[in-house]
Each structure stands twice: as structure tokens, then as C-alpha cells.
Structure 1
């Protein structure tokens, strides 16, 4: 029997502390396409749609693809964009509802919009109103999702990434699609249990390359082989969103047709949550101040070829930070380095100014620190030589995170100042692919020092070429010091902002 499945991708992670707004133009920078046009761009990319379509072709499904919309993490989504994007998906569902056998959605889980703190839950609620309670719906999520009861209630199966850096987009989507096949055949009836921990973040932010966090994913995979357990997702949450349900959660999708599966799902969730709570202080990162970072750079003696890679952790655009913090850059410029690199620093004004000059010119201009100097430093007045100009900032990723995906930085320039090639860009984006530098004349492997605006995704491509990696907290918006941000909506008490004595309460829905 051939099944008809509606698919869509709607992916955005939002920092509620970022003063800006994400509109449709921000989606168009990455992708905002429907139907065949979306499939043409995403079919062979490291994207969830590929995983859905791989299974669809193998099983002979008829697929109606409604939307692929993804934007770099940033501020909350405008009400207009929110309604437009959800409307594309719900209109497609309404038009096809009489022939649909299932729905597969690639979501993030930490989206926020004007007037709505839970867009993913709202989307699922609207779809249920159109399609009814029985049509199978499967979702994929980033492990940095802030899951809600509405998200769990709307999804017969929910599958989150199990890698950070995220390199399992396709595998995660394939997992959800394989379960969808079982649901549509009637061989399983899925339900998703959600457990919420009273924490703002997991100890390592979901890193899958360090203990004890990586062991949680191994345990989840092992549980997924048990009878009646369809998917187990360990979510570290997204602490840069001030919403009620921010923080780590466990999702266990189970089969109602399997005796004892519901009880086993709750036991799995409680066991994993207990470990995450017990390990809440086991952070693998050592966060250096700017002064400590610069001292480390000065004394660095490499033990293998490659650059000393510095994560400008708290100014990660991938966590919704502004990407224009200057504190770390200012410190590095004082060291008179040779053959160093830094970026991507997001400064549309500086990029436009540099494009008013020619290659090889020496230019003086203010760089960075323009969005909110309280977080990460004020603008720097720099004098440097223009080493590269690109009108579109276009590149195609070739690494494990964005391999095959076309990426646009907009107007892009490389300014060499005090031995540092500074990659200055217009559009938002963190560092997670070597091509983000190579496309603009910077060869990361050959550098002495490389500062990256990224927290963890950079490791997939840059750690293999690095002599060493260190992490700096420059005091920008995504600082691991949560107390620099004012939270008002969180469910309290919550660790580490509050003291929680004794065994914590785990909320189950």
C-alpha cells in the first residue's frame, strides 16, 4: 500500500534576549522555499528533508512537501512571519487532509515569536484541529529544544538529534520516518511522554563528545532497541530563551500496542533525568576570561601542527548572540600576532563601508560592538588593509554540519589588522565549516591562532585541524553566566539560579 505523507521543515532557535526580530528576509538568507523548489535545494544536503525522502522513496510513499524554512538562530520571529510560515503548513494540511496518511515535521523546538512562546506546540495544536487526533504525526527536534506539553501531546513520535555538533540531521529524520511507516501500517500506535527537569541547562549543553553527556545518548540508543520503545530523546534545552519551559527534558515515544511500554517509558525518562541531575556540575569546558585567554595565547607551545583555535563562546550567533562582540578581538589585537584569523564578526555597516573601497586599500573604521555594547564590548576603531571583498558572501559547505548546503554571508570583507585577518560579514551565521573562511581567502589550517564565533558546532570541522582548542567567555549575550540575563518567565525554582534541596521534582506530561 502506498501512503501519502505531508512533510515540512520549520527550523529556528530564538534568543529572547536579543533585541532584534527575525522576519521572512532572514529565512530567505538560508532557505524559504516550498514544494519542488525546496526539495531541489535540500534533497542531497545534510538536512532532515533528505532523511524523510530517503525513507519515502524506499517505501514508495507519495510526498507532498509544504515548506522548507530555516534561519540562523537569532531574535524572536515577527508575528507576521510566524503566521505566514505556519499558514503554509496548515493550509497544505487542510488541502490534503482527505488523502493524508501521516505528517512529518522537521522542527527545532526553541523557536519563539511575537505573542507566542511555543510556536512548535502551536503548529501541532493547529494541525490536530485540522487532521484530528488519530492521524500519525512525527517530528524531529534539535537537542536544544525547550519541549512543551503541547509538543509532546501533538507528536506520536518525536526524535531529537543525538550529536552536538549536530551531524545526524539525516539519521534523525530517517528514524522518525521509519517509525512513521509502522504507525501508518497500524503495527504501532505512538504516544510521546515528556519529562521536564528543574534545570536551565545540562552540564555540557548537550555535547556528544564529552562525558558524562555522551553516555546519555548511548543509553538512549540502547533503550530504542527495547520492545515498545520507538524513540528516546535527551534534550539539553536552550537557556538563552526566557520561556516557561526552558531547560533539559527527556522525550520517550512508545507504542500503546505493546504491553508495559508506557510504564517502561516513564522509568527510562526518570532514570536518564536522575543521571542528568546528579551530573549537573560536571562541565567539561574551562571558560577563560579574555585576559586569561590572551595570556594562554602568549605562552602557547603547540604539540602538533595547526592553529590554536579559540571559541568566542559567549558571542555565538548560533545561540542568538549578536556576533559583534569585540572584547576578545581587542585582546588579541594587542598581542601583535602573525598569520591569525578571527570571525565571522557580524557588522553590516562595516562590511558596507569596506565595500566602498578597493582591495589593498588601508581603511580606518569602527568595527563591531554596535548592537548592544553592554554584552561583549564597544566598537573598535581599527585601521587595516582590505584583503578580500565578496558581494554575496556565497559558499557551499563541505564539512559534517552543513555539507552540501549553500550559505550566504551577504556583503563580506576580510580586513587585516595587526596580523589578524578579520572576517566581517553582513548576515548572521556562526563558524562551523572551513569553507566559511576558505571561500574568502583565509586558509584555517595554516594559521597560528583562529578565533571563532561559535560554541560547539565549530568542533566538527575545526577541531581536526587544530593544535588545541580553548574556550573564552568574553561576557557577550550567550555567556554561560546566566545571571547576566534577566529571566522572568521560567518555571521556578530552577538550577542554577535557585537552590533546590533534596530530590528534585520531575514534571511528566
Structure 2
């Protein structure tokens, strides 16, 4: 067997002012054919897992390019087309192939393209023809369009949020692909539109129990190959935004459709109950100060670079400074200019510095402090499950009992190693201020005495009922109370 694999992925917040070009992909991950590192990024596990599978099966794996950019705003049209056409050219050169296994995200939007993944998959299908297997792994925070469903044989989606399972789901994807190519199964995909948009953390109930049921059903239901929930991505203003359920069965589309609908209606019945409670910056600081022991993690949930924001909001930090709170470590504030200034000054320098709150309104004001530059690290990175997430050149500065990590490549706070990478022991601080909606939970919960979810400022369009969408459908909850009426 000859199988082609490649990856092209990012998550687009269409409301974000941060434009994406090729440099953004190169800053996070760009690997030419055969050059992907041994460890996967969030959306490139089909490549690394494919190496294991094809070596075991004695098959030929043809690797194309792998590109990942940290979430931000719209991708430049020329950048998307260039990266797309690289992969298509590599696929054309690899023909004939028996299968195509891709790593995608599913919430990419480019200038002139509301559905880049649908565009890419359609072009792949046109190259390989109707009889070659085409499948992909997706992030659940994506848009499942009719165009994508028509072009692919099946999708497998991460089940967990935080996305701790992206390698396991890549193994599921390849498991189904191998059985299909051997003629053992015929996967068909059924999709149910839940007519809603919500946020579904699996670190708490009720989504924890729902996902555990998906795992159980995959094992117990005859003919069920895979079950997935497309959560949807509310910051993507595209026509087919929303939550959907995918059932992949062995040749039984009717059974898959019935199961997907049953699960989808169960999700809809629980709408509005999934997200953890959030408090404002004043209540968050009150709770952190009152906690008897640390570390207390304050998660700045909506200034989350993983959702396409800048990650430079200062609302919570300003509250801590105003109250004279000490024993605080902040990871991170995105400010490439401030990092450059710190690098020029050098370690040990004491300098006046303005940083943060430069990207967008409603994110606070820049911070002006005389700071000590404690450490500079070039090309810093942190752990994320079985992978590493780069956060660029970084500087550890301190002032008035507060430590702040400034970074030059936007990245959400996945793991406490973001602090230790700069020389800070996060377990020794009373308060850790981080930027992430929920991906932080798996790792930070292991060291945190308490976790506080804080909604501060307005860096992210987190209220679909009032978000000024121009393209997204308005016939789903919570835009309407009863989309089934």
C-alpha cells in the first residue's frame, strides 16, 4: 500500500485583528516533506502515527508538508493558497496512492475562503478520484461543512477538551484507515446538526460523562467505528458554524444517523450547562488572596491565544498591581517589542518598560514599571501532552513582587513548564496568572491548590447571542431559544 499524509492547520478567530501569513506558520511549525520532527503538534499526529503504522504494516508512507500556526485572525489568501498548493503538488507527484490521511484543524478561515479545509479536501478528492480513501483528524473546535463531508470518507475528532488525546485519536484514525485499505470494513459517515453553539470542557460534568459514553458506545455498539462531537468554534464567523455529532459506522448509514441524532439531541438538552462558572477580575483576586495555600491558578479564559486573541490583556495584572499583591507569576504576556528591549538590555538590567495591551480595545492598558530582566531564553517552549509548544524568544522580568514572562510567539498556557523554561518554579508562587480557556487544566490541576476561571475585559467574542456575526447562521441556540420550533 502507498499512503500519502500531510498537515495544514490553524484555528481562525475571524474577529481577531492579528493577521496570519507564512511567517506565522514558520514560527510555530513548518516542515517540508519527511522533515516533521518525531513529536507531533496538535494537528500533525497523523504524520508521526502514520510512520509507526506504515512501518508495522510494511507500507510506503509518502510525507508531504506539515504546517501549523497558532490561532489568530484571517490567513492571507496567498499564504493559504501557497501552502495548499504545496500539498496538492506533493500528492500529485506521489500518485498512485491507495489512501490519503491528513491532519487538519477545521476552523481555518482565509481571505476569500470561508472553508479552506473543504476547499483542500475537494481538490484532494479531484486528484485521487472517487475510489481512493481520504480521511482526516480534526479538532472539535471546528466547522463541519457539507463540502468536507462530501469529499472525505470519514473524520475522527479529538474527544477531550483539554485536547490530551490528539495522539490517541490519530491512532484511531489510522486504525480505521488500515482496516479499510485491507478490505475488512467500509466506513460511512453520518452527521447530525445539533442546532446550537456552546463550550464543552470534558474536565467537568456533564461533558465528562457524555464523552465517557462515547468511548463505551464505540466498544459496545455493533458496527460503530467512531463517534465524535464537533463542538464548533464561536469565534469563527462562517456560514456553517455550530455543534454537530459524527457517527462512523461499518456500512450502515441509517444506524449511524439514528445514533448521531440521539446523541445530538441529548447534547442539546444539556445546553448552557457545560462551561465552568466565571468571575470578574476583582472577585478572582479576592478569591486568590483569601486562599490559605497556593499555588492558586487564575485562568484568564477569554484572553486565550489558543482562541485567536493576542494574549496581551492586562486587566487582571493591573488589578493585582493596584492592590499591591505579591508572590505572583504571570505566564505569559505577548509583547515582541518588549522582549526585544529586554534582550537588548541583557540579563540583570534594571530598565523602565512599557508592556502589554497593545493589540486590541477592551484588553486593559499597557503596564509601565521599572523592571529587572532576570533571564532571556531564545526559542522557548513548553510541554503539551506528548508534544512541545513554542512561545518564541522570551524574557522573565520582575517588579514589586511580581514575575512576568513576556513572549514573542503567541501561545496559550498549556503547562507549568512554561514557567520552569524561564527559571521560575511555579509551585513556589502563591498566585499563577495564566491565559487559557481549558487546555491548561490537565497539567496545572496537578499542582494547583485552587483554580479560578476569570472573565476579564472583552478580548474574545464569547457571547454568541449578541456577537455581531455577518455570515454565521442565526437559527441556532442561543441566537434563538428553540431552533426546533
TM-score range, shorter chain: over 0.9
Counterpart in the other structure of 2:279:
288
Counterpart in the other structure of 1:507:
none
Q: Distance in 2 between matches of 1:422 and 1:482?
A: 32
- Are 1:427 and 2:415 counterparts? no
Matches within 5 A, 1:98-497: 98=96, 100-201=97-198, 205-225=199-219, 226-256=221-251, 261-302=252-293, 306-372=294-360, 374-390=361-377, 392-395=378-381, 397-398=382-383, 401-405=384-388, 407-478=389-460, 480-482=462-464, 485-497=467-479
Q: Confirm or deny: 8 A CA contact 1:314 1:455 kept in the other structure.
A: yes
Change (3 A) 1:345 1:255: same
Question: Match of 1:37, SS?
Answer: coil
How far residue 450 of structure 1 moved from its aligned partner, in angstroms, is 0.3
Q: Confirm or deny: 8 A CA contact 2:380 2:390 kept in the other structure.
A: yes
Q: Confirm or deny: 8 A CA contact 1:315 1:479 kept in the other structure.
A: no
Q: Distance in 2 between matches of 1:473 and 1:326?
A: 12
Change (3 A) 1:192 1:111: same
Residues 104-154 of structure 1: CA deviation (Å, up to 9, x unaligned):
001111111111011111111001111111211111011112111111122
Q: Confirm or deny: 8 A CA contact 2:161 2:439 kept in the other structure.
A: yes
Q: Confirm or deny: 8 A CA contact 1:367 1:380 kept in the other structure.
A: yes
Q: Distance in 2 between matches of 1:323 and 1:311?
A: 12
Change (3 A) 1:45 1:435: farther
Q: Confirm or deny: 8 A CA contact 2:326 2:401 kept in the other structure.
A: yes
Change (3 A) 1:47 1:130: closer
Residues 201-256 of structure 1: CA deviation (Å, up to 9, x unaligned):
2xxx2312211112222222233233322211112111111111112111112222
Q: Confirm or deny: 8 A CA contact 2:200 2:274 kept in the other structure.
A: no
Question: Match of 2:376, SS?
Answer: strand
Q: Distance in 1 between matches of 2:289 and 2:177?
A: 55
How far residue 409 of structure 1 moved from its aligned partner, in angstroms, is 2.5
Q: Confirm or deny: 8 A CA contact 1:242 1:489 kept in the other structure.
A: yes
Question: Match of 1:355, SS?
Answer: helix
Question: Match of 1:66, SS?
Answer: strand
Q: Confirm or deny: 8 A CA contact 1:16 1:112 kept in the other structure.
A: yes
Residues 27-63 of structure 1: CA deviation (Å, up to 9, x unaligned):
1112111222115564999934222222222222110
TM-score, normalised to structure 2, is 0.95
Q: Distance in 1 between matches of 2:464 and 2:315?
A: 19
Q: Confirm or deny: 8 A CA contact 1:45 1:403 kept in the other structure.
A: no
Q: Confirm or deny: 8 A CA contact 2:201 2:275 kept in the other structure.
A: no
Q: Distance in 2 between matches of 1:426 and 1:473?
A: 24
Residues 430-462 of structure 1: CA deviation (Å, up to 9, x unaligned):
111222111111111111000001111111211
Counterpart in the other structure of 2:70:
72
Change (3 A) 1:402 1:74: farther
Change (3 A) 1:43 1:440: closer
Question: Match of 1:383, SS?
Answer: strand
Change (3 A) 1:67 1:339: same
Q: Confirm or deny: 8 A CA contact 1:325 1:476 kept in the other structure.
A: no
Q: Distance in 1 between matches of 2:16 and 2:237?
A: 11
- Are 1:4 and 2:2 counterparts? yes
Aligned residues: 484
Q: Distance in 2 between matches of 1:57 and 1:44?
A: 22
Change (3 A) 1:42 1:290: closer
Q: Distance in 1 between matches of 2:99 and 2:270?
A: 39
Residues 351-370 of structure 1: CA deviation (Å, up to 9, x unaligned):
11222213233322221111
| Superposed CA RMSD | 2.0
Question: Match of 2:190, SS?
Answer: strand
Q: Confirm or deny: 8 A CA contact 2:18 2:310 kept in the other structure.
A: no
